[in-house]
């Protein structure tokens, strides 16, 4: 499907940049327009692919291009004040050519955390196209203020978008890695999953080789349950024969077609299980998800309807949902078969409850420290017997 992507804040901008790189590399054509919004000038200058005319610096009078320093209330205020500047860039997007808006932001900071729900509300008021969010949760070692920001932004963002896709940095962090190289890898993982998902609805031309290509309306319908979504992924390499054909690792020695078909089916069903039961972008219980979409991507010879149908049925049983869609995304020159599962409207998410608990504690702590600090300052400044008078 074709998206207008808007990266809000540093993380958002970097991830949009990555999607543009992915589009160039794979030719998937999902980013119809790319916009980056920030209060920090340096972050906008650091982007590589978002066109310069689509980089919007907001809040110049308030923060002079230096960012909001993780103050997401200020981030939200600035976004409201300067929404016209963002809109003037969005005015250049050929909205009739897009299937949806996707606002991407890290929810732990200030600019993206505060600004993205404001932008979502604004876009929903103006356009009929769906407005989705891709919200990145901070990792738990980032500290209380980031957790508090994320918990408050999450509540607001979910309410303002048609569906909030969530990626949890905490589930993907590796120890002993610098933040930057860590993010680089994490951003690759994000783009791979969402790239396949959204790219699936963009297949044209070659569709006769595919058995049941996913259409962008199926992605939209799956996301129409609203609420919160998570994505699972699993892939397996299929090695190329010297003749140029594909030789799967499971393939038997003989050239028995039935055997090949059975192997293809088995591989698909096993990839579906791995994707659903492995690490999700937002770890959660898949039981109770309202809707799901299964996408199998890979060379057309390695995809079959039977495998996808079995995978779909299995997902129905696991989620208890009657709305599980499935289809394929043929990529002729790929040497991987990948399964991507979108679980929409998930409810049983212990991670969110934990995030909220830590956020409440952080908020209480902050209030306590503030109250104490006022008292301490008064004790320091006032003389004990109150014999001095201030100047005015
Ligand atoms: N996955 C991922 N997460 C990131 C990246 N950069 C930052 N984050 C996360 O996003 C959160 C917000 O960071 P930024 O995007 O830098 O913040 P901002 O929206 O620019 O806001 P301010 O810097 O406070 O003005 C951080 O707490 C991290 O959890 C990135 O490149 N990838």
Domains and CATH numbers, the chain: 3-200 (3.40.50.1440), 206-344 (3.30.1330.20)
pTM above 0.90, yes or no: yes
Indicate which residue's Cα is closest to atom 6 of ligand 1. Answer: 11
Q: Flag whether the ipTM exceeds 0.90.
A: yes
146 lines ligand 1 (CB under 6 A): yes
110 lines ligand 1 (CB under 6 A): yes
Gap from CA of 203 to ligand 1 centroid (Å): 32
Residue 361 Cα distances to 107, 108, 136, 191, 370, angstroms: 18, 16, 21, 33, 14
183 lines ligand 1 (CB under 6 A): yes
59 lines ligand 1 (CB under 6 A): no
Substitution site in 6, 8, 9, 165 for ligand 1 pocket (most atoms within 8 Å of beta carbon)? 9
At 221, which helix (H) or strand (E)?
A: helix 216-223
Q: What is the pLDDT along the chain (392 residues), one digit of tens a residue?
A: 999 999 999 999 999 999 999 999 999 999 999 999 999 999 999 999 999 999 999 999 999 999 999 999 999 999 999 999 999 999 999 999 999 999 999 999 999 999 999 999 999 999 999 999 999 999 999 999 999 999 999 999 999 999 999 999 999 988 777 777 799 999 999 999 999 999 998 876 554 455 688 999 999 999 998 999 999 999 999 975 544 455 554 444 555 677 888 999 999 999 999 999 999 999 999 999 999 999 999 999 999 999 999 999 999 999 999 999 999 999 988 999 999 999 999 999 999 999 999 999 999 999 899 889 988 998 999 998 989 999 99
| DSSP per position, 235-282 | EEE-EEPTTSSEE-TT--SS--HHHHHHHHHHHHHHHHHHHHHS--SS
The count of other CB atoms within 10 Å of the CB of residue 269 is 20
Gap from CA of 340 to ligand 1 centroid (Å): 25
Which atom of ligand 1 approaches the CA of 12 most closely?
Answer: 15
List CB contacts of 60: < 8 A, sequence separation 6 or more.
none
Q: Any known ligand binding at 10?
A: yes
Gap from CA of 25 to ligand 1 centroid (Å): 25
């Amino acid at each position: 499907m074709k998206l207008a992507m808007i990266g809000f804040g540093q993380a958002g901008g970097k991830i949009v940049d990555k999607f543009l790189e992915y589009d160039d590399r794979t030719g998937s054509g999902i980013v119809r327009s790319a916009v980056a919004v920030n209060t920090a000038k340096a972050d906008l200058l650091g982007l590589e692919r978002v066109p310069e005319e689509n980089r919007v610096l907001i809040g110049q009078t308030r923060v002079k291009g230096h960012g909001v320093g993780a103050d997401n209330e200020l981030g939200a205020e600035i976004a409201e004040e300067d929404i016209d500047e963002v809109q003037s860039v969005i005015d250049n997007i050929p909205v009739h050519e897009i299937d949806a808006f996707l606002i991407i932001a890290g929810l732990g900071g200030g600019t993206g955390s505060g600004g993205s729900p404001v932008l979502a509300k604004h876009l929903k008021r103006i356009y009929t196209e769906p407005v989705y969010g891709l919200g990145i949760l901070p990792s738990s070692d980032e500290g209380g203020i980031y957790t508090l920001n994320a918990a408050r932004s999450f509540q607001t963002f979910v309410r303002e978008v048609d569906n909030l896709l969530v990626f949890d940095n905490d589930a993907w962090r590796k120890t002993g890695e610098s933040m930057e190289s860590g993010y680089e890898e994490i951003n690759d993982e994000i783009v791979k999953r969402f790239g396949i998902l959204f790219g699936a609805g963009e297949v044209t031309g070659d569709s006769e080789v595919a058995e049941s290509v996913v259409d962008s309306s199926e992605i939209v319908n799956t996301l129409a349950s609203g609420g919160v979504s998570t994505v699972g992924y699993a892939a397996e390499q299929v090695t190329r024969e010297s003749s140029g054909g594909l030789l799967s690792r499971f393939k038997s020695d003989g050239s028995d077609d039935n055997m090949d078909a059975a192997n293809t089916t088995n591989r698909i069903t096993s990839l579906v299980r791995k994707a659903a039961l492995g690490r999700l972008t937002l770890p959660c219980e898949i039981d109770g998800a309202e809707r799901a979409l299964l996408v199998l991507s890979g060379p057309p010879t390695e995809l079959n309807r039977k495998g996808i149908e079995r995978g779909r049925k299995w997902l129905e049983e696991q989620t208890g949902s009657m709305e599980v869609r499935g289809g394929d995304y043929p990529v002729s020159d790929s040497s991987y078969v990948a399964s991507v599962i979108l679980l929409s409207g998930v409810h049983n998410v212990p991670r969110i409850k934990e995030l909220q608990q830590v956020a409440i504690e952080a908020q209480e702590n902050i209030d306590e420290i503030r109250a104490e600090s006022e008292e301490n300052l008064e004790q320091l400044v006032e003389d004990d017997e109150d014999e001095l008078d201030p100047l005015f």
